[in-house]
Structure formats: structure tokens, C-alpha cells
Amino acid sequence: MSIVHARIDYRLIHGQVITKWLKRSDANKIIVIDDPLSRDPFLAEVYKMAAPSGVENTPGRKIVFNQISLNHEDADKLQIIEDKNIKVYFQTIPEEDPASLQKIKNKLP
């Protein structure tokens, strides 16, 4: 099995993944990695139905790209990923131009 697309999103599975990214990446499987979800069989079944969810902006976070919010802790974690030569970029739908992590980090206060 090869990984064709990886996405970090607190919403886990939602409409954009189902309608846009699966088609664009030609993926044949979605794998959700989430510790609390793995311990809750009922909720796991709910996520298998791929119900869309809304956008949330919590205190301490700033909207940095469309409806994507970020704080410095998140940015630091993403930098660790990028430092391992894994391309990190922000792109909510395939039709948008992606923004680099550095460009996004420059938007944080």
C-alpha cells in the first residue's frame, strides 16, 4: 500500500475529503488516526459514515488560510514534520493554490 495523500485535520473526515480529495488523489482507502476514536466503537461507526462537520476557531488560534486556524504550538509540530523532508502545505480544496508552511507561519502574531 502506498500513501498518496496525507491530511492533518481535527475534523478527521468531512465533506471536502469525501467530495474533493479522494477524487483528486485517486485514493481507495481512508485511514483515520485518532486515539480517542480508536477506543470508542460507536463513534468509530459514526465516522465511517463520514458526516461533514463545521469549522471551529478556539481561543489562541488565528485563521491563517481560508478557514484553517493555527497556533504556535501547531506550527512548531508542523515544522518538525517539514524538517523531516515531508512537504507541508495548506490547501483546503484541490482547486486552490497551496500555501507553504513558512508563508502561513508569517501570519501568526
The residues that are catalytic are 14
Q: Cα–Cα distance between 103 and 19 in angstroms, integer?
A: 27
- Category of 26 on φ-ψ map: left (φ > 0), alpha (ψ -120 to 50) or beta: left
**Residue 22: alpha-carbon gap to chain centroid:** 13
Q: Cα–Cα distance between 79 and 60 in angstroms, integer?
A: 19
Contacts of residue 107, Cβ cutoff 8 Å, sequence gap at least 6: 62, 64, 65
